[in-house]
Amino acid sequence: MLGLLGTLNLASRSLQTQMTGVEVTGQNLANVNTTGYTRQSVEIQTSPDISTVIGPEGTGANAVAIQQVVNAILNSQIQSQQSTSGYWNAQQTALQSAQTGLNEFLNGTGSATSSTSTNSTTDTGLSGQLSSLFADFQSVATSPTSVSARQQLVSDAQTLAATFNQVNTQLDASRTTLNTSLGNDVDSANKLISEIADLNKQISTANFSGATPNDLLDEREQDLENLSSLTNITASTGTNGAVDVSIGGQTLVSGNQVLDTLQTYDAGGGQLLVQTATGGVNLTLTGGSIQGTIDARDGELATMQSSINTLASTLITQVNTIHSGGFSLTGTTGANFFNGSDAATITVNATLANNPSLIQASGTVTATGDNSVALQLADLASATQSGLSNQTFSDSYGETVAALGDSLQTANDQVSNQTAVTNMLSTQRGSVSGVNVDEEMTNLMSFQRAYEASAQLVTTLNTMLGDTLAMKTS
Amino acid sequence: MRIGTNSYTDTMIDQFNVLKSQQAKLQNQLSTGLSVQAPSDNPDAMENTLDDLSSQAAQQQFSGNISTVQSKANSIYSVLQSLQTISNRIGEIATSAGGVTNSQTDLNNYAGEITSLIQQAAQLVNTKDPATGQYLFGGTNSGQQPFTVTTDANGNVTGVTYSGNSSVNQTEIASGVTVYMDVPGENTSGSGAQGLITDSRTGADLFNHLISLQNDLLSGNTTAISGTDTANLQSDENNLTYQVAYNGNVQTRLTTASSLATSQSNSLTGLISNASSADLATTMTQLTQAQTAYQAALESSAAIMQLSILNFLQ
């Protein structure tokens, strides 16, 4: 039998237990807007009973643990999806940059009618400028002695060459930006690796001393998710609560030790890849923004830049081969129309640009009015080129644009899908681990009422003790 | 299902962003009239549109080429008509002078007229294209005067030399289709475009034949006038008739090609429109739907967010 003092002790522990409940509820409410916070709950257990002649008698309740409400499987899924999301976000960013660099967009004037708009569509990039170049060759062929036609040709050819230069510069800049982004991501990954090792140490120590380091676990989970968005990781939890982290098959964090870190290396030609810093092991990564950046840079971006360069070099070669065999209005021959060898270096021969009469449109030195060379140059518009996979200049460029569009469209779709998946998982995790204000307020009232009742019990016992003492004095 | 307070607000923010993004995209389509603007919007449509725009630019250039050649053809036709007038007068003179009733004075007068007609014809075939300033009948050597007349002390024509060539320029009027409108003044190569004044295949040699006629008139050789000269002049007349007919045929081809280029350009406009233009009715409907959804999301969110258990706690 507990007796008055035992029951008073029960009431006292009950007050402490309910107070712990209020404290945990307060902690949850305080962190309702904290990113990555996992709600906590107080575990209350009945105190051991004591045997009496009439049966076991309860001794109240104790708060035995404050636990996180967490679903480890959901956390693992979110880590995995973060990696996929990071990969496609990086691809999307890189390809959007490439699309902007290519500057091939359609312009309209908003002349939409009730059914379909009348066509006033123009394009802003190389496609229209290539068409203009060949149209200008036609104009010169039609009026071979016209200086104004030649001036228009020079002007449009200079615009085309400048656009080739600009596209190449933009794509080079995109490549440089991606390499910088890669370096920043690797630095961020190393920082997270270091933090995870530190947190492992603190968590192990806390576990060893019997404490439950809930906030540290939240912090480490956030770091693991952030690291996952940078690269695909394998995380395994040890018995002491520490998490080992492997990237690309290499263990970088073991317990509280950072075994290795990441660094970029030049695989040749400025192609930055990733390896372990100490071991020097070249890593094959499978996800995350680091690999997304590498794949976009070495995939679609490199292919597009190569295609643009091949287009420019083929144009230079074909036009020069024909043009150099022609004769100008003054009878000169042998000059190239374009200088340079690729998209970066293509320019219109300055001598011709300064004096369009020197454009070699005639096929014979004795007849300035001959147009046979200009006609051959104009015919290049519809001629298939072996260097362009037996496509015309226009078709080859169109394919390059479409390939970029396909890749970016895929990236956009994947980002959209990943966003939906991540949101769904986040909602699911929120349903388990997220703080719900209504629920916490209800819990608060529950603990408050229990505390109030326990306090009333103490008051009652106090009165009873007083009554008992009064019996002796009276 | 239990809902975390932040999950709820995060979801609402995502929904707002998606609906705002949809509205921005549709509004942009309406303001530009284009459903495809960037390669990633619709790669296939973008490729087709660029291809169609390129084809359309080519068709417009062919139309420009045709227009230029038509202008030149009209200039040539004008000269040919004048030459035919001269040729008719020459025929009349040859017929009259070949008779037996003419005195030498009459023949001399005819000779003077022939000399004058030679000068007129030479002037005509030295006509420049008003559009380009180039000589019409010098072949591709169009920068210098093709015909030069030489006369003796009496003003009689002794020769007409040709400094052009027999080449002509081809002009592309449709993809892979070329025509030549140029008429060289002389072609003695036996191939290529038929010469206007001299052509070895038809026996035409107008200036030399007229000089012979002029000389025969001056010498009173009526036999040659009615015989050789008249026969030669018939060859020249036939050659001139061929040139007029060729000019007409090419002009007909140009008219047909021009119609075809315009028709194809219009057809390409339709294709471009189908591939890349926004359908106004559909886009407006989609925008209205997106706006309605956005409004509903805002209203429902605002209503729900104002409520919590705190509203009912005293």
Per-residue pLDDT tens digits for A136-161 = 999 999 999 999 999 999 999 999 99
Residue B189 carries which DSSP code?
A: S
Q: Is the CB of residue A371 less than 8 Å away from at least one CB of chain B?
A: yes
Rounded Cα–Cα distance for residues B2 and B15 (Å): 20
Residue B127 carries which DSSP code?
A: P
Query: Six-digit token pair at A134?
Result: 């060949």
Smallest CA–CA distance from B60 into chain A, residue? A135
pLDDT of residue A119: 54
Angle, nearest 10°, between helix axes A147-208 and A214-230? 150
List the Cα angle B117/B122/B123 in 5-degree steps. 95
Chain A: closest CA distance from residue B63 (Å): 11
Q: Is the CB of A433 less than 8 angstroms away from the CB of B308? A: no
pLDDT in tens, A301-350: 999 999 999 999 999 999 999 999 999 999 999 999 999 999 999 999 99
Q: How confident is the model over A418-425, as a mean pLDDT?
A: 92
Rounded Cα–Cα distance for residues A219 and A203 (Å): 11
The three-class DSSP label of residue A56 is strand
pLDDT of residue B314: 65
Q: How confident is the model over A73-102, as a mean pLDDT?
A: 94
Measuring CA to CA, how many Å separate B241 from each of A146, B81, B87, B187, B202? Answer: 31, 10, 10, 17, 12
Contacts with B281 from chain A: Cβ below 8 Å: 114-115
pTM of the complete model: 0.87
pLDDT tens per residue across all 314 residues of chain B: 888 888 888 888 989 999 999 999 999 999 888 999 999 999 999 999 999 999 999 999 999 999 999 999 999 999 999 999 999 999 999 999 887 788 899 999 999 999 999 999 999 999 999 988 899 999 999 889 999 999 999 999 999 999 999 999 999 999 989 999 999 999 999 999 999 999 999 999 999 999 999 999 999 998 999 899 999 999 999 999 999 999 999 999 999 999 999 999 999 988 988 888 888 899 999 999 999 999 999 999 888 887 778 888 76
Query: Which residue type does A59 have?
Result: T
Provide the chain B residues 1-20 that lie in CB contact (below 8 A) with chain A: 1-8, 10-11, 14
Q: Is the CB of A145 less than 8 angstroms away from the CB of B132? A: yes
Provide the chain B residues 252-271 that lie in CB contact (below 8 A) with chain A: 269-270
Query: Six-digit token pair at B24?
Result: 């921005």
pLDDT of residue A114: 41
Query: Which residue type does B276 have?
Result: S
Q: Which of A371, A362, A328, A139 is CA-nearest to residue B169?
A: A371
Q: Is the CB of residue B299 less than 8 Å away from at least one CB of chain A?
A: no
pLDDT of residue A248: 93
- Are A356 and A150 in contact by the 8 Å Cβ rule? The answer is yes
- Residue in B4, B41, B171 closest to A435 by CB: B4
DSSP per residue, A141-202? HHSTT-HHHHHHHHHHHHHHHHHHHHHHHHHHHHHHHHHHHHHHHHHHHHHHHHHHHHHHHH
pLDDT of residue B8: 80
The three-class DSSP label of residue B177 is strand
Rounded Cα–Cα distance for residues B276 and A285 (Å): 39
* Selected residue of A34, A88, A106, A132 to mutate for chain B interface (largest B Cβ count, 10 A): A106
Handedness of CA B276, B282, B284, B285 (dihedral sign): negative
Q: Is the CB of residue B65 less than 8 Å away from at least one CB of chain A?
A: yes
pLDDT of residue B105: 92
Chain B: closest CA distance from residue A36 (Å): 11
Q: Is the CB of A367 less than 8 angstroms away from the CB of B37? A: no
Contacts with B143 from chain A: Cβ below 8 Å: 145, 329, 368-369
- Residues sharing a CB contact under 8 Å with residue A88, sequence separation 6 or more, in sequence order: A292, A411, A414, A415, A418
Rounded Cα–Cα distance for residues A47 and A45 (Å): 6
The three-class DSSP label of residue B170 is coil
- Are A368 and A145 in contact by the 8 Å Cβ rule? The answer is yes
pLDDT of residue A111: 47
Q: How confident is the model over A350-359, as a mean pLDDT?
A: 96
pLDDT of residue A112: 44
- DSSP-assigned beta bridge partners for residue A263: A275
Q: Is the CB of B38 less than 8 angstroms away from the CB of A397? A: no
Q: Is the CB of residue B307 less than 8 Å away from at least one CB of chain A?
A: no
Chain A: closest CA distance from residue B28 (Å): 9
Q: How confident is the model over A415-432, as a mean pLDDT?
A: 92
Chain B: closest CA distance from residue A141 (Å): 7
The yes-or-no verdict on residue A86 having pLDDT over 80 is yes
| Residue A45 burial (CB count, 10 A) | 11
Angle, nearest 10°, between helix axes B206-219 and B230-276? 160
Contacts with B44 from chain A: Cβ below 8 Å: 402
Query: Which residue type does A56 have?
Result: P
pLDDT of residue A474: 60
Rounded Cα–Cα distance for residues A185 and A89 (Å): 13
- DSSP-assigned beta bridge partners for residue A327: A333, A362
* Selected residue of B29, B41, B54, B284 to mutate for chain A interface (largest A Cβ count, 10 A): B54
Rounded Cα–Cα distance for residues A437 and B22 (Å): 32
- Are B5 and A437 in contact by the 8 Å Cβ rule? The answer is yes
Rounded Cα–Cα distance for residues A206 and A216 (Å): 10
For residue A210, count CB atoms less than 10 angstroms from its CB and return exposed for 0-12, middle for 13-18, buried for 19 or more: exposed
* CA B208 to centroid of chain Cα atoms: 36
Rounded Cα–Cα distance for residues A111 and A102 (Å): 26
Angle, nearest 10°, between helix axes A126-142 and A302-323? 10
Handedness of CA B188, B191, B197, B198 (dihedral sign): positive
Query: Six-digit token pair at A32?
Result: 């309702």
Contacts with B286 from chain A: Cβ below 8 Å: none
pLDDT of residue A211: 83
Q: Is the CB of residue A145 less than 8 Å away from at least one CB of chain B?
A: yes
Phi-psi region of B246 (alpha: psi -120 to 50; beta: other; left: phi over 0): alpha
Q: Is the CB of A121 less than 8 angstroms away from the CB of B274? A: no
Chain B: closest CA distance from residue A311 (Å): 16
Residue pointed to by tokens 């989609």: B286
Q: How many helices (H) and strands (E) does chain B have?
A: 7, 7
Provide the chain A residues 31-90 that lie in CB contact (below 8 A) with chain B: 32-33, 39
pLDDT of residue A379: 95
Do the bridges between strand B186-187 and strand B198-199 make them parallel or antiparallel, or are there none, so unpaired?
parallel
Query: Six-digit token pair at B311?
Result: 């509203």
Q: How confident is the model over A107-131, as a mean pLDDT?
A: 69
Rounded Cα–Cα distance for residues B186 and B80 (Å): 15
Provide the chain B residues 141-160 that lie in CB contact (below 8 A) with chain A: 141-143
The three-class DSSP label of residue B104 is helix
Q: Is the CB of residue A128 less than 8 Å away from at least one CB of chain B?
A: yes
- Residue in B36, B131, B313 closest to A106 by CB: B36
Rounded Cα–Cα distance for residues B184 and B194 (Å): 7
Smallest CA–CA distance from B272 into chain A, residue? A119
The three-class DSSP label of residue B246 is helix
- Residues sharing a CB contact under 8 Å with residue A308, sequence separation 6 or more, in sequence order: A102, A126, A164, A167, A168, A171, A343, A400
Rounded Cα–Cα distance for residues B241 and B237 (Å): 6
- Residues sharing a CB contact under 8 Å with residue A226, sequence separation 6 or more, in sequence order: A82, A188, A192
Residue pointed to by tokens 């454009």: A359
* Phi and psi, residue B211, nearest 5°: -65, -40
Query: Six-digit token pair at A153?
Result: 């040709």
- Are A204 and A256 in contact by the 8 Å Cβ rule? The answer is yes
Handedness of CA A287, A288, A294, A300 (dihedral sign): positive
Instruction: Give exposure, A377-397, as e/b (b: 16+ Cβ within 10 Å).
Output: bbbbbbeebeebeebbbbbbb
Q: Is the CB of B57 less than 8 angstroms away from the CB of A401? A: no
Smallest CA–CA distance from A139 into chain B, residue? B65
Contacts with B62 from chain A: Cβ below 8 Å: 138
Q: Is the CB of residue B184 less than 8 Å away from at least one CB of chain A?
A: no
Rounded Cα–Cα distance for residues B83 and B122 (Å): 10
Query: Six-digit token pair at A427?
Result: 């909602």
Angle, nearest 10°, between helix axes A393-433 and A72-102? 150
| Residue B150 burial (CB count, 10 A) | 9
Contacts with A439 from chain B: Cβ below 8 Å: 2
Q: In which element (H, E) is residue B35 found?
A: none
- Residues sharing a CB contact under 8 Å with residue A402, sequence separation 6 or more, in sequence order: B39, B43, B44, B46, B47
Q: Is the CB of A369 less than 8 angstroms away from the CB of B142? A: yes
Residue A266 carries which DSSP code?
A: E
Q: First vs last Cα of chain B: how many Å apart? A: 27
Q: How confident is the model over A168-192, as a mean pLDDT?
A: 96
- Are B33 and A106 in contact by the 8 Å Cβ rule? The answer is no
Residue A255 carries which DSSP code?
A: T
pLDDT of residue A217: 94
pLDDT in tens, A360-390: 999 999 898 999 999 999 999 999 999 999 9
Assign 3-state DSSP to chain A and report helix, strand, coil percentages, each to 5.
60, 15, 25
pLDDT of residue A96: 95
Smallest CA–CA distance from A135 into chain B, residue? B61
- Are A306 and A285 in contact by the 8 Å Cβ rule? The answer is no
The yes-or-no verdict on residue A240 having pLDDT over 80 is yes
For all residues of chain A together, what is the average pLDDT?
93
* Selected residue of A93, A111, A117, A307 to mutate for chain B interface (largest B Cβ count, 10 A): A117
